[in-house]
Chain A
Amino acid sequence: KAGVTQTPRYLIKTRGQQVTLSCSPISGHRSVSWYQQTPGQGLQFLFEYFSETQRNKGNFPGRFSGRQFSNSRSEMNVSTLELGDSALYLCASSSATSGSGELFFGEGSRLTVL
């Protein structure tokens, strides 16, 4: 069974640009979550989608947005990039409807903002 796939794996952008990251969950998983990982802040929750609906949202500005498609694939978008957005963005999927905490993570998309 294929794991969580994230694309692209690496990307470089400049300040003010926008970026879209993609995540394909494990087949059959309907919950997709996104986390930002940085050396200073650790792992910070961005948002979670379940059946195309945002179920939870972290404390990030409105520049960070996401969506989920009917096939459970998800995208996240960051507009007007800032230097501080440089991070590893991790996507995770889950088969559980709620509260199990058992997430399967992808390898991440490493974003560098210059």
Chain B
Amino acid sequence: GDSVTQMEGPVTLSEEAFLTINCTYTATGYPSLFWYVQYPGEGLQLLLKATKADDKGSNKGFEATYRKETTSFHLEKGSVQVSDSAVYFCALVVVRGGGNKLTFGTGTQLKVEL
């Protein structure tokens, strides 16, 4: 079946540090890839997405590139802020008989300190 593996957290960084959160996937089919973010006490929000190999998704200074050869979709940001503290989920969807069934990774908590 489909699965997503992402690095364990929590990840603690100082403000303005560089962020990388690793994500790899397995899928039977050609998936679209996503990063969702969950701020404390809130539901998930779509952060960025990529639908085909070598696509780069970007939003709010975050970027991730769809690497088919390594089945990866690592999240990066050049300079994190305290407001980026949240839980980040990597996810995929494979269009298979219709629907929007997302498979999520376990989430990585990011804490950014001053």
* Interface status of B64 (Cβ within 8 A of chain A): no
List B51-87 residues whose CB lies under 8 Å from chain A.
Answer: none
| Chain A CB within 10 Å, residue with most, of B92, B100, B101 | B100
Contact A99 B98 (CB under 8 A): yes
A-B contact count (CB 8 A): 78
CB contact list, A67-114 vs B, under 8 A? 90, 92, 94, 96-108
Residue of B nearest to A108 (CB): B43
Q: Which of A45, A94, A106, A107 contacts B103 (CB 8 A)?
A: A45
A67–chain B nearest beta-carbon distance, Å: 17
B102 touches A101 (CB 8 A): yes
The tally of residues in A whose CB lies under 8 Å from a CB in B reads 28
Interface 1/0 per residue, A18-37 and B, CB below 8 Å: 00000000000001010100
1/0 contact trace for B34-48 toward A, CB 8 Å?
101000011111100
Q: Would you call A55 an interface residue if the criterion is a C-beta within 8 Å of the partner chain's C-beta atoms?
A: yes
- Known interface pairs A99-B95, A101-B49; A56-B101 also in contact (CB < 8 Å): yes
Q: Are B43 and A107 in contact (CB under 8 A)?
A: yes
Question: A residues within 8 A CB of B93?
Answer: 99-101
Q: Which of A42, A48, A90, A105 contacts B100 (CB 8 A)?
A: A48
B91 interface residue, CB < 8 Å from A? yes
Task: Place the interface of chain B in its size category.
Answer: 20 to 34
Chain B, residue nearest A97 (CB) = B98
Report the Cα distance A70→B101, complex, angstroms: 21
**Among all A-B residue pairs, the 6 with the closest Cβ atoms:** A99-B95, A105-B43, A101-B93, A43-B104, A42-B106, A56-B99
Subset of 16 A-B contacts with CB under 8 Å? A33-B100, A33-B102, A42-B105, A43-B89, A48-B99, A48-B101, A55-B99, A56-B101, A94-B100, A96-B100, A98-B100, A101-B92, A101-B100, A105-B45, A106-B43, A108-B43
Residues of B within 8 A of A (CB): 32, 34, 36, 41-46, 49, 89, 91-95, 98-107
